[in-house]
Amino acid sequence: MESTPPSSQRPSGTVSKRTIILVVAFCVIAIVGTAFYSFYRFAEYGRMRREGIPVGSTLNSAYPDSTRSISALNLPADYRAVPDTARLVDQRGVQFRLGDLRGSVVVVDFFFSRCTGPCPTMNRGMAQLATQFAAEPKVKFLSVTVDPLYDTPARLASYAKLFEADTSRWIFANAGGPQATYDLAATGFAMSAGERQQPDTVATIFHDERYVIVDRHGRIRGYVHVNDPQWKQHTIERVQSLLREE
């Protein structure tokens, strides 16, 4: 009569029933989890399309050195309102408030005229958008310098000419001192800007590389990164969607 050897005496390579059950259970959980995640992403994709949010638009991390991004769907449901009372000075030396732009969809970026990095690319993009919406008076553009002590109104006016900007619709602005500018970027637009001090070197200016899209009620409704391969399409679609809103 044969008997089953104790577990301690089983031949090497024999898989226990318990191990098989655990492996099967793990596979089932993985398959079910993947199915639920795929369903969620499909539902979110549909919602983005219904709400006119460009699929693929991203928000950078609040930290300028990070490449992490999150979906535009993570904007708060009631949206962030830009500070209407914030005062800036344009390229003519004329003071205005952000609230003066109410009634228009506004595309905003942060830059500085001495920048040799992303700024020229960003503002060439703004020029393309300005051309795209040249016949739409309810679309405006705002470029705010993050180097306010250097970028005087006269320098901003000269910089605007490099892009053949129609400054009646594309405003180049100075928000005052450096700290006031960094605060406006952070608290007003949820954007990063400031100075990065390295040991034994001159401080370098950094800023966010996204376009901010503000609706006619002064609420932030989207961000598009300049490195998004479809940045232009996404921005145009978002602006057009906001123009259709009451």
pLDDT band at 108 (very low <50, low <70, confident <90, very high): very high
Inform me whether the pLDDT recorded for 144 exceeds 80. yes
Inform me whether the pLDDT recorded for 39 exceeds 60. no
The full set of domain ranges for the chain reads 14-50, 56-244
What are the pLDDT digits (tens) for 188-204?
998 888 777 666 655 68
Inform me whether the pLDDT recorded for 14 exceeds 50. yes
Q: In angstroms, rounded to a whole number, what is the distance separating the alpha carbons of residues 181 and 185?
A: 6
Q: What is the pLDDT of residue 13?
A: 54
Mean pLDDT across the chain, nearest whole number?
78
pLDDT band at 10 (very low <50, low <70, confident <90, very high): low
What are the pLDDT digits (tens) for 62-100?
333 322 233 333 444 457 889 999 999 999 999 999 999
Q: In angstroms, rounded to a whole number, what is the distance separating the alpha carbons of residues 151 and 112?
A: 7
What are the pLDDT digits (tens) for 148-164?
999 999 999 999 999 99
What does CATH list as the number for 56-244? 3.40.30.10
Closest CA to 136 of 179, 170, 86, 113: 170
Element (H, E) at 44: helix 17-50
Identity (one letter) of the amino acid at 198? Q
Across residues 222-237, what is the average pLDDT? 91
This prediction's pTM: 0.68
DSSP string, 164-227: T--TTTEEEEE-SSHHHHHHIIIIIHS--EEEE--TTS--EEEE--EEEEE-TTSBEEEEEETT
Inform me whether the pLDDT recorded for 125 exceeds 80. yes
Inform me whether the pLDDT recorded for 218 exceeds 90. yes
Q: What is the pLDDT of residue 153?
A: 96
What's the chain's Rg over C-alpha atoms? 26
pLDDT band at 40 (very low <50, low <70, confident <90, very high): very low
Q: Could you tell me which residue, 132 or 53, shows the higher pLDDT? A: 132
DSSP string, 115-160: --SSHHHHHHHHHHHHHHTTT-TTEEEEEEES-TTT--HHHHHHHH
Q: What is the pLDDT of residue 193?
A: 85
Least confident of 27-36, 133-142, 236-245: 27-36
